[in-house]
Amino acid sequence: MLESKLCQAVIKAVHALYGLELAEKDITLQKTRREFTGDFTVAVFPFVRASRKSPEITAAEIGQHIKDNIEEVFDFNVIKGFLNLSLSKIYWLQFLNNNFRQTDFGFTTSKENEVVMIEYSSPNTNKPLHLGHIRNNLLGWSVAEILKANGKNVVKVNLVNDRGIHICKSMLAWQKWGNGETPETSGIKGDHLAGKYYVLFDKNYKTEIADLIANGMEKESAEKQAPLILEAQEMLRKWEAKDDAVIQLWKRMNNWVYEGFEQTYTRMGIDFDKTYYESSTYLLGKSIVEEGLDDGKLIRKPDQSVWADLTEEGLDEKLLLRADGTSVYMTQDLGTAHLRYHDYQPKQMIYVVGNEQNYHFDVLKLVLKKLGYNWADTIQHLSYGMVELPAGKMKSREGTVVDADDLMDEMEKTAYEKALELGKIDDFESEDAKHLYYTIAMGALKYFILKVDPQKNMLFNPTESIDFNGHTGPFIQYTHARIKSLLKKALDEIKPADAEIEMLPKEKEIIRLLHDYPSIIKLAGEGRSPALIANYIYELAKEFNAFYQEITILKEENEELRNFRLVLSVFTSNIIKSAMGLLGIAVPERM
């Protein structure tokens, strides 16, 4: 990579001139700001002590040494203590010609031993996926693709939370008030049907609590003694005891939900290499806890509950098994982590989970370490902020959740109306038009969510996301379609650009942006941030549109210049398609 070569050139110059030994980490190399002349800038202040000269003289000496020894650098200038290096036109044209047809430009060859496991989605089988799951899924899938582009051998996994008290609530409500209703008899998607009964449980549970409070019971006691919650707890105990009737009901309702989830994942463009189920891992978790108890690493309290004492680590005690012997989330996460590590021996296990679970993952790592599992350090929590709609936060238990399916329906409807209004589907056959506004809708949804730094909370505005002229997915999709239309009209063969042409500043800026793509992929992988890719590709699309508006391409009379601009267009369209692909966004050939 050129950046590394330039850093090495600085290291050699400083050593030759001043006898100072440096490493790449000691060099601050950045793109030159637009208001200055140059391509890369080096801060020379750290070398002044060794040179015993002013920053300006030090920079000039280092610049001359680099210019004399690195053929890519044809000039330099000094602004105070900053050395601005300018690359030769030949370098930029060779870069363009060598890479403009490469569809995998910027990608690193996969290393089989660099196994990284990334978990995302992790739904509960008592309700459908919602807006929060959309951010989780899009973020997890995109990070997985970005890590693949960085040469990692990525395993994408899902953990289905298919057991526990919340699942029993839906089951109990259906048992009481379902009257045999199924997805087939009701016409309701399976995950939505389970969610309907989860909400119904909560509604009736609250009524029971209110009645108990009205009869003089304290609120906390009423919540624990309401008949419905006691029945749900009893159902959970029966499930763990493998009661046949409860297990059959559980399997039946879960299968409804799995079918519903799969439809949503397919529509969203999300996939997994392996799915784990908590019902299969919680027993392993319990056995790990029992072993830790036998080894004296955990403690059993008088009520028979089992805890990990993390006070020496600066936390508190953590419950691992309830007094009645049933497991908690932490128990099953211990089992799941153990199983995954022994399935794949990953160098990293990344969990994509909201920031409200930061403490949970701190505890998970500490408990595993306490139990003697050295691979606990492979666990990383990719923590992300909450997502809201303009109307406010979602509350699934109150039945006001924004379902992923409903949101995607609304996005497609809005995309259709926008495309119709702007005349973008006038020349399309019915099926092609339907596919186009689906592509626009998903592009708008994914881009709007992924352009935000994962750690930040965000407000998702569906209407704002479908704008063909803003910082949006449809704007970038339209830019790609515009380039494809341009290239289709260029009937002659596009060949490497001639070395004699003179580049305009806008053309060079586009090449510089294309040149940045590998480093952007690297940074996005290191930071687990699709936002870096999203915002980069917006800058490229914006720059190309300005170039397209102001500079003649097809009607350029100079054949070599015309060809150069077409080469630039081909490279740009390839990078747009590649970068959007890392975000899970399709780019149409025409719009």
Strands 73-79 and 387-388: unpaired
pLDDT in tens, 481-507: 999 999 999 977 899 988 888 899 999
Length of the chain: 591
Q: What's the rounded Cα separation, in Å, for the pair 282 and 413?
A: 42
Give the CATH H-level superfamily of domain 404-582.
Isoleucyl-tRNA Synthetase; Domain 1 (1.10.730.10)
Q: Which residue is it, tokens 């800026």?
A: 509
> Domain locations in the chain?
2-87, 120-398, 404-582
Give the pLDDT confidence score for residue 462 in this predicted structure. 84
pLDDT band at 34 (very low <50, low <70, confident <90, very high): confident
- What tens digit of pLDDT does each residue of 114-173 get? 899 999 999 999 999 998 899 999 999 999 999 999 999 999 999 999 998 999 999 999
pTM higher than the cut 0.85? yes
Closest CA to 201 of 226, 179, 170: 170
Residue closest to 136 by CA, chosen among 557, 472, 530, 545: 530
For the domain covering 120-398, report its CATH number. Answer: 3.40.50.620
The b/e string for 110-142 (b: 16+ C-beta within 10 A; e otherwise) is eeeebbbbbbbbbbbbbbbbbbbbbbbbbbbbb
Q: What is the pLDDT of residue 391?
A: 67
Q: What is the mean pLDDT of residues 581-585?
A: 98
Write down the pLDDT at residue 400.
59
Give the C-alpha separation, 179 to 176, whole Å. Answer: 8
Q: Which two tokens stand for residue 582?
A: 């890392």
pLDDT > 60? residue 21: yes
Residues 73 and 75: their CA atoms lie apart, in Å, by 6
Q: Which residues pair with 350 in a beta bridge?
A: 118, 380
Binned at pLDDT 50, 70 and 90, residue 461 comes out as confident
Mean pLDDT of the chain: 93
- How does DSSP assign 330-386, residue by residue? HHHHHHHHHHHHHHH--SEEEEEEEGGGHHHHHHHHHHHHHTT-GGGGGEEEEEE--
DSSP H helical ranges for 426-472? 430-450, 462-465
State the Cα–Cα distance between residues 488 and 470, nearest whole angstrom.
26
Q: Does 22 score more than 60 pLDDT?
A: yes
The CATH number of the structural domain formed by 2-87 is: 3.30.1360.70
- Tokens coding 344: 């794949």
Mean pLDDT of 214-242: 95
User: To the nearest whole percent, how much of the chain has pLDDT over 70?
Assistant: 98
Going 421 to 424 to 427 to 432, the CA torsion angle's sign is negative
pLDDT value at residue 418: 83
